[in-house]
Structure 1
Amino acid sequence: MVKVGVVGYGVIGQRLADGVALQKDMELVGVADVSPTLAIRALKEKGMPYNFYLGMPENLHMFEELGIPVSGTLEELVQKTDIILDATSAGVGAKNKELYAKYNRKAIFQGGEKNSVADVFFHGYANYEKGLGKQFLKLTSCNTTGLIRSVDCLDREFGIEKVAITIIRRVADPGDYHRGLTNALQIDKAPSHQAVDLMTIMPHINATGILVHTPVTHGHIITVVATPKKKISKEEAIECFKKHPRIRVVRIADGFLGNASLFRYARDLGNPRGDMYEIALWEESVVNSGDDIMYAINIPQEAVTIPETIDGIRAALMMQPDRISATSETNKYLGMGKWIQK
């Protein structure tokens, strides 16, 4: 049984812990953080389903005052694990890497860290084999993760030469206040980092893109114009997407009008926190433009990277030898692809 620790129990860390706990071939040793945040207070109120380790021992008195049990230090957690999932704030993971290296432990970092922190910039479907046996992996960002899922899906079936994307980006996660309350759109200079990151993972594809920040919190939307090596019909593209266990094809006609509809649907399904591991792709958005194929996807930013992170565990520890067997195991335990009609 592979032993896993999660460092940073925030938006991503909570979901990583839950995702690992669902894997029947992994054991979640514990989670770590530095202060009694709302997430950790909620963990205590839920009965401490996960052992908690403290990243800053000098803050122990804060936890004692709140009656939050502490199982040990971050260093002790690292020693008990085979691999660490680092979900700390950008820059902190690079510092933590020294501790992981000290004990010769493997680690997976999230998209906020610089690519230089890891041996491989990783995606479970697009380049799983490159992560096999590596000590340090880094995940793509939420937008890039979902974008690559859809482009890789088409590329493996038909071959893709280039893509042009527009990202309509949520301004902050639900509950965040640090970006302020706005009634404006803000555009970044092109190309967006997601397009550059896609080319890093999939160097055979030429990509560019524009990013627009929007004052919403429940998900990003990306429009993609893909140029195939041979012309793809709308029907062929939709059929290809419908077979992918991490892409949910939805219809505007059925009431999926936008990102809020998907968030509400996830809550109606009973998904914890209203999470969705899969990206959604609107069937009515798939159109041909000359030889190009265009479509729009929804990126549930809080949970979309969880499956690919778990794929990373499988690659780094060589649990499965290839992307098909690895992603299939991850999908099975996370319950992904249940919506696919057999």
Structure 2
Amino acid sequence: MEKIKVGVAGYGVIGQRLADGVALQEDMELVGVADVGVTLPVRALKEKGMPYDLYLAIPENREAVEKEGIPVSGTLEDLVQKVDIMLDATSAGIGAKNKEVYKKYGKKAVFQGGEKNNVADVFFHGYANYEKGLDKEFLKLTSCNTTGLIRAVDCLHREAGIEKVAITIIRRVADPGDYHRGLTNALKVDKAPNHQAVDLMTIMPEVQATGILIHTPVTHGHIITVVATPKEDISKEKALELFRNHPRIRVVSTDEGFLGNASLFKYARDLGNPRGDMYEIAIWEDTIVKSGKDIMFAINIPQEAVVIPENMDAIRAAMGMQTDRLEAVALTNKYLGMGKWMK
């Protein structure tokens, strides 16, 4: 079977990881990545020996890029013409402009959480609504927090039927290496409900959701507390079993030394994961508690890498590679090496 040809637009925090994720999929081929010029990730790409071909979104920058000894394979339009589907990881708003290029050449595309919902035919999540993405032209992924949140809620929902959730997000203020947010020593509260709760209801309209978001001056991961109300009573032990059996959820505990977000980031580095990335969310076993019928737990969201599996799912759905949801996510999980801790 011929491999699906994929391109990545925007070689930044998410784009680098998307490129690596596609390169790991044995039934996909990464044709190349596109960016605007000599960014730090592009410098690193050159120093690593150019494992991926580089295309320029701003052709006028070619001379400056080649002056740095970085080979250029063509323009963004050249890349689009060579692929079956594009993963667009550009800054919010740029993807909507790039969509015109994708439409010009009749190519499908997947956009990230920062774009507005109307950029795509389907607001997509691999586990929760895979079928809705089948054979669609344009898909949009949920944000990092929403992606991880939906994984956990969907996991319980398919067993017990979740009626509603109330969430609190303790949100990292910026990615590692970002300076534009400033150096802060403060917490900042957003108006309720936060967009993650609203987005969850868009993906899972049968669940009522609301929540509060608090920005914190940290960089390595978000933490979400969830209070879920099931239709059918579910024990802590059953919830724990469901979480443990999910390849994109890692159950940890404070007794093991996982005291918070920094512990998980350090553990990913100790595992030798590139960039200290984790594709899976973590749920602390010792935060799973019952309050009457409600069940409460806390999740860690590794914001730089958590959406990569769902992007691979989106390619599978849009290109009709697998029509069965569980078959599709299982292949993504296999090629990304997810669930190894379960063995």
- Select the residue among 68, 71, 74 that pairs with 1:72: 74
Which residue number corresponds to residue 85 of structure 1? 87
1:108-147 matches, cutoff 5 A: 108-147=110-149
Residue number among 43, 47, 50 corresponding to 1:48 in the alignment? 50
Matches within 5 A, 1:188-337: 188-337=190-339
Q: Deviations over 1:186-238 (max 9, x none)?
A: 00010000000000000000000000000000000000000000111111110
Match of 2:186 among 175, 184, 187: 184
1:302, CA displacement in angstroms?
A: 0.2
Amino-acid identity (%): 79
Q: Which amino acid aligns with 2:198?
A: V
Q: Please give the alpha-carbon distance, in whole angstroms, between the structure 2 residues aligned to 1:61 and 1:133.
A: 39
Moved more, 57-66 or 297-306: 57-66
Secondary structure of the residue aligned to 2:342 is coil
Take 2:325 and 2:301, find their aligned partners in 1: how far apart are those partners?
22
Mapped to 2, the partners of 1:289 and 1:85 lie a distance apart of 42
Give the aligned partner of residue 154 of structure 2: 152
| Corresponding residue SS for 2:269 | helix
Task: Give, in whole Å, the separation in 2 of the partners of 1:62 and 1:235.
Answer: 59
What is the root-mean-square deviation in Å for CA atoms of aligned residues? 0.4
Deviation, 1:328, is 0.3
Q: Deviations for 1:241-275, whole angstroms, at most 9, x for unmatched residues?
A: 00000000001000000000000000000000000
How far off is 1:158 after superposition?
Answer: 1.1
Separation in 1 of the partners of 2:47 and 2:187? 39
Distance in 2 (alpha carbons) for counterparts of 1:150 and 1:340: 17
Q: What does residue 9 of structure 2 align with? A: 7
TM-score for both structures, normalised by structure 2: 0.99
Structure 1 unaligned regions, length at least 5: none
DSSP-derived class of the 1:227 partner: strand
* Gapped regions of structure 2 (runs ≥ 5): none
Q: Secondary structure at the match of 2:341?
A: coil
- 1:63-104 superposed Cα distances (whole Å, 9 cap, x missing partner): 111000000110000000000000000000000000000001
Question: How many residues were matched structurally?
Answer: 341
Q: TM-score by structure 1 length?
A: 0.99
User: How far apart are residue 323 of structure 1 and its match?
Assistant: 1.1
Q: Which amino acid aligns with 2:128?
A: A
Runs of 4+ in 1 over 4 A off after TM superposition: none
